[in-house]
Amino acid sequence: MFIGPIELPNPLFVAPMAGVTDRPFRQLCKRLGAGYAVSEMITSRPELQDTPKTQRRRDHRGETAPIAVQIAGTEPILMAEAARDNIAHGAQVIDINMGCPAKKVCNVWAGSALMRDETLALRIIEAVVTAAAPHGVPVTLKMRTGWCADSRNAVRLAERAQALGVAMVTVHGRTREQGYKGEAEYATITAVKAALHIPVVANGDIDSPEKAHAVLQATGADALMIGRAAQGRPWIFGEIAHYLATGQHLPPPATLQVRDWLLHHLDEHYQLYGERSGVRSARKHIGWYTAGLPGATVFRARMNAVDNTLEQHRLVQDYFDTLARTHGLLPERSAAAPALEHAA
């Protein structure tokens, strides 16, 4: 699996998710089996380049290559400058966001709203490819099947993006109008794959090894991108890789192994965000890890009342130590996870 000149260890990708796929989460997913991960989207607006949020999203210290950065915006000149700026900060792949369905993004005609204006979308693609080319950095595109059911233009846009030099296309199997409702459809992804000679990545509702296999078989895609299903379950990439290679399921991870993964994740999270922001932003990750596990509701209520990282870390360790005394392997979850963040 290649993106331009860059060879990847496997075709299992972590989707860019705002507020989720920061450096600690990307690194953990890579350690647990993902072959590639894309950053949270970084705005191209120059007045926001020096904010703490943007600075954290451009922090790639110690990150395993390749470093892929997603950029978002509506102005070709600013998007080209954002590409150059992120390359200067270590980006080895630039991904263009034309898939985010969030209203605050689409209301300013960024993200998937660009699929309604193909002329502007293509001007942005051309500008970013031109900016990245002198640095030898490939450009990729993430999009949806279209704006709405009556305007599924993914094939046409993907063909034109390929002609402009895009090295890979990822398609989420929903329109912008759908958001995250209903089920993803893969017929459009199949059509995009048939039309292109560059790699095509399938995204949407891939939440188990069996589903991963079925989507690959149905679409002929070169790779799979997984987003929400990895929240609180970053080992899903290793599970899928094993199933695709052997046809067999891995046993659930040991409870104490999950404890160690989460504690290491928290340590790196605190280092990136600091005390005040770190303890708050870590709560959603802890909630996803523990959703549906025995005693999790009481545990989360206690954990959410804590306002320092040391105590939060201790509560997590105590919870999993207690769980391990009765469950050697991580038990089956008894309920759905809390509300999930959305992928870009």
pLDDT digits (tens, 9 = 90+) for 301-334: 999 999 999 999 999 999 999 999 999 999 988 7
Start-end of CATH 3.20.20.70 domains in the chain: 2-246
Active site residue: 29, 100, 106, 148, which one?
100
Residues of the chain with pLDDT > 70, as a percent, come to 94
pLDDT at 111 over 90: no
Q: What is the pLDDT of residue 337?
A: 46
Provide the whole-model pTM.
0.93
- Check: CB of residue 42 under 8 Å from CB of residue 344: no
DSSP state at residue 39: P
∠ at Cα 310 (307, 313), nearest 5°?
95
The three-state secondary structure class of 311 is helix
pLDDT at 12 over 60: yes
Of the listed ranges 70-79, 149-158, 217-226, 228-237, the one predicted with least confidence: 149-158
Sign of CA dihedral 218, 219, 220, 225: negative
Annotated catalytic, 29?
no
Start-end of CATH 1.10.1200 domains in the chain: 255-326
pLDDT at 279 over 50: yes
> Span 255-326: which CATH code?
1.10.1200
What residues contact 258, with CB distance under 8 A and at least 6 apart? 235, 289, 320, 330
The architecture in CATH of the region 2-246 reads Alpha-Beta Barrel (3.20)
**What DSSP assignment string belongs to 170-187?**
EEESS-TTTTT-S----H
